[in-house]
Structure 1
Amino acid sequence: MTALIQDRPGARLHALDALRAGALMLGVTFHASLSFLPGPQIWVVRDVPSEAVATFGFVAHLFRMTLFFVIAGYFGRLLVERRGTAGFVRNRATRILAPLLAFWPLVTAGLVACFVWGSAAMNGGVLPTNAPPPPPITLASFPLTHLWFLYVLLIFYAAALAVRGLAGAVDRSRRAGGAIDAAMRALMASPIAPAVLAAPLAIALAAQPIWFGWGGIPTPDTGFVPNAAALAGYGTAFAFGWMMQRQAVLLDLMKRWWPIHLAAAGALTLACLVLLGATSPVVKMAGGTHQTVYALCYALAVWSWTFGLIGAALRFLTRERPAVRYLADASYWIYIVHLPVVMAMQVLVFALPLPALVKWMLVVAASSLILIASYHLLVRHSWIGAWLNGRRLPWRRPAAALEMQTA
């Protein structure tokens, strides 16, 4: 996560930074779509259903977190190489563990308030009297909310450090590392790399006993033990990004095939939608051959999108752009606090007599403006910015710096 690394040398890092920001910002648009899904209510309110909005949410959710974990793995190893193991642990404790502990109570309180508000909005302005009691909170049902990605990152960081330490103790000649690097080069030189990396996820999804196919990789947002599909999918992504950072040439190899990967991603996504048909998002897969075929198509689509977008970014987004840099800096804060804001906007537009697409765009636009304003006024120039992003930016640049720029 480059929002947590102060120096960003190289065009490759600019491209990956832009992608990381885009993956996090897609979370706003995806969660904004959930109140417009066809079928029974699964969200804070059930607004006018829209197939178009639901399809956008499906596609955005398909690749965004896998893409994020690939980039997180890449920059995780980069941080270890720059700061050493002790420095890496201190940095992750400050920038990942501490925000998880600090923001979880605040975010959870906001989500509970929005659900109460949404229940009243859907019941004529009063709270329903026959609502079922909330389930008891246990270790298996603990609500991590959308901050689960921080918790899972901590698991992956710990696993990566453990494997790194064990490998260093056992393979002092580094022969195994050299063999792995050679295998990575061979894999990345071929356009079939997404198919190889998709295999663990496809197997895990096909074996998932209760799987809601519309939602893709089951979100590990409850309980302290992530589900097998999430560990397989996101763990493979993180490990791939970590190993890819060992050799700069691998990113250049990925850039070679980006049009093929994006074309495959589009075709596979269409196949997934056809296989889903008119299935409601809250209806589980029937199992058997149909689930296996869908799992294979879905996993291949996930990795085709990931490879295609990284390759395209390395082709077109290697130059530093102020607007992209600003959003990259803001994206971490925005993702942490966005969900209660998005839910509040969904409740506010619920009663408006407008088409679903217009409401969804209103929710996205209003939430984005509030979130960006909060970042600019509360975070960017404050100690919170120094905490989350590693630096506190001044409100105004020093006069000497301005003179040097205009000289």
Structure 2
Amino acid sequence: MDSIRYKELDVVRVLASWLRCVLHTLVPFMVYTSGMWPIHYHNGTNLLPDLSVLTIHSFIMEAFFIIAGIICVLELSRKGLRGYIKNRLRKIVLPFTIGILVLVPFIIFLFGLGSDLMSDSFHWQFRDWFYEAWINWSSRLVLLGHLWFLYYLLFYYLIVLGIIHFAPELIEKLKKIRITRWITVVPLLLLCFYYSPVWYIINPLTSKIEWPSFLYYLIWFIFGVYFSSHLQTFKWLAGKWIWTIATFMTISLLNASLQPYFLYPHPTYQVYIRYLVIVLSATQTISGLIMIYSLALKWRYMADTPWFKRQVQSAYWIYLAHAPIVMVMHLMMFSLGWPLVIKFIVILPLSVFLASQSYWKFGRWLLGK
């Protein structure tokens, strides 16, 4: 791959990482509470955080899996099979193992603190918090939290290794498929949406494989393998970035307007509304991916700046570290009587800064340069 392709990929990685940080910071401000967050503010009517979270969520994880598929091909071509396995052990298996043993138990521990803070009965009771964390840990399958991304990647990389061993020609054949052939995959994506309990693909929180999401993200990972040889095909999108944003936002608003009818079904029209929402959700995802790539093409010049290169280096680590950091910050600021918008403005940049600094102090050594 040439330098232009690297620049575009780097910009996508950084944009996706930043948007994920925005999503993490917004979750506690949502009207509809999330079971994967230890604390929620009393926001009874403002749906802007909900709309923002679901809009970002509609395409951001798909972008990460496409990037993972591209990187998979890059590592194989650069380092060979042995180097590829060694690199994936360092970049995926090691942080996943440490995260499961250290990070996830810490996040579970935070739920006890959050419960006390929200009930206005907070007092230091470490024994009770540890006990509650242990109950949550031991009564379920292995909890993954935001590390489910790495969990699925482990399986996808095993699939790639199996293909390399038994049918290595398949990867080259995949790269040569005409882009128009991918339209045949759309019904499969719609089927994954259909079997998801809500209008978007739910991320798994435990080690139990949820087949709609597993198959859904596998499709995007495979598309990343294909896309690694066709990044230049869509260079024309650089001049269409305004149109891609307008298209994505229009579809997102239309989809959001139907959610009340999806959540509170009308007995007569529910079937039609459900099918319409499924089609709109898939369309929203695809248009979001086109939008972020068009922005990457437009802003690829930023990849040459020293500051942006540092963002590229730390982007993956920030994805891993930001969630627990922003959780702690929300817990610390929950009792302050500040307006929610002020809390968001303070927490977002500070949590990203701390996550970035943790990379340069620790993560770079763990993951390798």
TM-score range, shorter chain: 0.7 to 0.9
Counterpart of 1:299 (choices 260, 279, 282) is 282
Counterpart in 2 of 1:351?
Answer: 335
CA distance in 2, matches of 1:341, 1:249: 37
Instruction: Determine if contact 1:32/1:363 at 8 Å carries over to the other structure.
Output: yes
Q: What whole-Å deviation, never above 9, does each CA across 1:226-277 have from its counterpart, x for those lacking one?
A: x222123211111011012234543546657655544332222112101113
Instruction: Determine if contact 1:185/1:250 at 8 Å carries over to the other structure.
Output: no
Kindly report which structure 2 residues correspond to 1:93-104, keeping only aligned pairs within 5 A, or say none: 93-104=89-100
> Secondary structure, in 3 states, of the residue corresponding to 2:177?
helix
Offset of residue 285 of structure 1: 11
Q: What whole-Å deviation, never above 9, does each CA across 1:189-242 have from its counterpart, x for those lacking one?
A: xxxx6x65543222111133xx233xx2110221242x2221232111110110
Counterpart in 1 of 2:166?
Answer: 166
Percentage of matched positions with identical amino acids: 21
Counterpart of 2:7 (choices 8, 14, 34) is 14
Counterpart in 2 of 1:400?
Answer: none
- Relative to structure 1, is the Cα distance of residues 185 and 303 closer, same or farther in structure 2, using a 3 angstrom cutoff? closer
Do residues 212 (structure 1) and 198 (structure 2) align?
Answer: yes
CA distance in 1, matches of 2:175, 2:32: 48
- Relative to structure 1, is the Cα distance of residues 212 and 284 closer, same or farther in structure 2, using a 3 angstrom cutoff? farther
Counterpart in 1 of 2:364?
Answer: 385
CA distance in 2, matches of 1:358, 1:197: 44
CA distance in 2, matches of 1:257, 1:102: 42
Offset of residue 284 of structure 1: 10
Amino acid at match of 1:333: W
- Relative to structure 1, is the Cα distance of residues 183 and 279 closer, same or farther in structure 2, using a 3 angstrom cutoff? closer
CA distance in 1, matches of 2:52, 2:66: 22
Kindly report which structure 2 residues correspond to 1:171-210, keeping only aligned pairs within 5 A, or say none: 177=172, 180-186=174-180, 197-208=185-196
Instruction: Determine if contact 1:244/1:250 at 8 Å carries over to the other structure.
Output: no
Identify which range, 305-314 or 196-205, moves more after superposition: 196-205
Instruction: Determine if contact 1:63/1:305 at 8 Å carries over to the other structure.
Output: yes
Offset of residue 164 of structure 1: 3.5
Counterpart of 2:258 (choices 275, 278, 291) is 275
- Relative to structure 1, is the Cα distance of residues 292 and 185 closer, same or farther in structure 2, using a 3 angstrom cutoff? closer
Which segments of 5 or more consecutive residues in structure 2 lack a partner in the other structure?
none
Kindly report which structure 2 residues correspond to 1:80-119, keeping only aligned pairs within 5 A, or say none: 80-119=76-115
Offset of residue 13 of structure 1: 0.8
> Secondary structure, in 3 states, of the residue corresponding to 1:336?
helix
Offset of residue 365 of structure 1: 2.5
Amino acid at match of 1:96: I
Instruction: Determine if contact 1:111/1:340 at 8 Å carries over to the other structure.
Output: yes
Amino acid at match of 1:83: K
Instruction: Determine if contact 2:108/2:137 at 8 Å carries over to the other structure.
Output: no
**TM-score, normalised with respect to structure 1:** 0.78
Do residues 23 (structure 1) and 16 (structure 2) align?
Answer: yes
What's the RMSD between the two structures over aligned residues? 3.1
> Secondary structure, in 3 states, of the residue corresponding to 2:59?
helix
CA distance in 1, matches of 2:99, 2:265: 32
Q: What whole-Å deviation, never above 9, does each CA across 1:358-400 have from its counterpart, x for those lacking one?
A: 2222221231232223233x13xxxx41441x32xxxxxxxxx
- Relative to structure 1, is the Cα distance of residues 341 and 249 closer, same or farther in structure 2, using a 3 angstrom cutoff? closer
Do residues 46 (structure 1) and 46 (structure 2) align?
Answer: no
- Relative to structure 1, is the Cα distance of residues 366 and 181 closer, same or farther in structure 2, using a 3 angstrom cutoff? closer
Counterpart in 1 of 2:308?
Answer: 324
- Relative to structure 1, is the Cα distance of residues 159 and 343 closer, same or farther in structure 2, using a 3 angstrom cutoff? same
Instruction: Determine if contact 1:212/1:284 at 8 Å carries over to the other structure.
Output: no
- Relative to structure 1, is the Cα distance of residues 295 and 132 closer, same or farther in structure 2, using a 3 angstrom cutoff? farther
Instruction: Determine if contact 1:212/1:285 at 8 Å carries over to the other structure.
Output: no
CA distance in 1, matches of 2:215, 2:241: 24
Amino acid at match of 1:121: L
Instruction: Give the aligned length.
Output: 357
CA distance in 1, matches of 2:255, 2:192: 17
Amino acid at match of 1:301: Q
Offset of residue 313 of structure 1: 0.9
CA distance in 2, matches of 1:110, 1:177: 43
Offset of residue 348 of structure 1: 1.8
> Secondary structure, in 3 states, of the residue corresponding to 1:183?
coil
CA distance in 1, matches of 2:279, 2:190: 5
Instruction: Determine if contact 1:145/1:222 at 8 Å carries over to the other structure.
Output: yes
Q: What whole-Å deviation, never above 9, does each CA across 1:101-122 have from its counterpart, x for those lacking one?
A: 1232221232123211111112
- Relative to structure 1, is the Cα distance of residues 21 and 221 closer, same or farther in structure 2, using a 3 angstrom cutoff? farther
> Secondary structure, in 3 states, of the residue corresponding to 2:143?
coil
More helix by percentage: 2
**TM-score, normalised with respect to structure 2:** 0.85
Which segments of 5 or more consecutive residues in structure 1 lack a partner in the other structure?
1-7, 188-192, 392-407
Q: What whole-Å deviation, never above 9, does each CA across 1:73-116 have from its counterpart, x for those lacking one?
A: 01111111111112111110111101111232221232123211
Amino acid at match of 1:385: R
CA distance in 1, matches of 2:266, 2:364: 43
Instruction: Determine if contact 2:175/2:225 at 8 Å carries over to the other structure.
Output: no
Instruction: Determine if contact 2:5/2:232 at 8 Å carries over to the other structure.
Output: no
Instruction: Determine if contact 2:27/2:34 at 8 Å carries over to the other structure.
Output: no
- Relative to structure 1, is the Cα distance of residues 343 and 263 closer, same or farther in structure 2, using a 3 angstrom cutoff? same
Do residues 78 (structure 1) and 74 (structure 2) align?
Answer: yes
